[in-house]
Amino acid sequence: QKEVEQNSGPLSVPEGAIASLNCTYSDRGSQSFFWYRQYSGKSPELIMFIYSNGDKEDGRFTAQLNKASQYVSLLIRDSQPSDSATYLCAVKAGNEKLTFGTGTRLTIIP
Amino acid sequence: GAGVSQSPRYKVAKRGQDVALRCDPISGHVSLFWYQQALGQGPEFLTYFQNEAQLDKSGLPSDRFFAERPEGSVSTLKIQRTQQEDSAVYLCASSFDRVDSPLHFGNGTRLTVT
């Protein structure tokens, strides 16, 4: 079992709809949770991070964390074609390395 | 510069050659990480430095891989006797030394071994 699991997709969502990306992790000691966006041929760029159970909103993005279920998700509201990318979930235990999932490829259909 | 800088951007090596990849982290960032990313996969951890100390090298795939950060700033990842399976994008990232500090990535070095 991989430490961080994501559905690889592709996930297709109509423009203007809500895109929902999910991630589960195996290490109960994980303390910090990050979502990165990666365009093809580019490096990962940070979108959001969350540490506490519940929701965290930033513009069109909402991160949700449920530590009891070891589950973290990212919602993208009013999806735009520019949101088409691979979304990487990453978790950190302590102040050490980030462990990444394989990423979910998201396509927004105009 | 304001971001993590990596060089070269692209490297083509013949099988058996040695390569050296450079990373210049964000000023003030204590922690420095190297990741390897194969096509269609997420980044895989290679090694981690806190200042000049290499605290974790558990992800280095073989003893052909060696990383250093002698003065606690610039880091070099060296791959000896390159093999075709070493072909990947090598990403460097830096951060503050805090549990809530995200990693900031450089643009990566795409290594192709022919």
The mean per-residue pLDDT over the stretch B22-33 comes to 95
Integer angstrom CA distances of residue B106 from A66, B24, B101: 30, 9, 16
Which residue of B45, B93, B99 is in closest CB contact with A99?
B45
Q: What is the mean pLDDT of chain B?
A: 94
- Decide the pairing of beta strands B19-24 and B10-13: unpaired
Query: Are the C-beta atoms of residues A65 and A49 closer than 8 Å to each other?
Result: no
Nearest chain B Cα to A4, which residue? Answer: B42
- Percentage of chain A with pLDDT > 70? 97
Query: Chain B partners of A103 at a C-beta cutoff of 8 Å?
Result: 41-42
Lowest mean pLDDT among A43-47, A91-95, B104-108: A91-95
CA-based radius of gyration for chain B: 13
Would you call A102 and B107 a contact, using CB atoms and an 8 Å cutoff? Answer: no
Give the distance between the most distant pair of CA atoms in chain B: 41
Mean pLDDT, residues A79-101? 91
User: What is the H or E stretch that residue A11 is in?
Assistant: strand A11-14
For the segment A51-71, the average pLDDT, to the nearest whole number, is 96
Confidence (pLDDT) at B114: 96
The reply to whether residue B104 touches residue A95, judged by beta carbons under 8 angstroms, is no
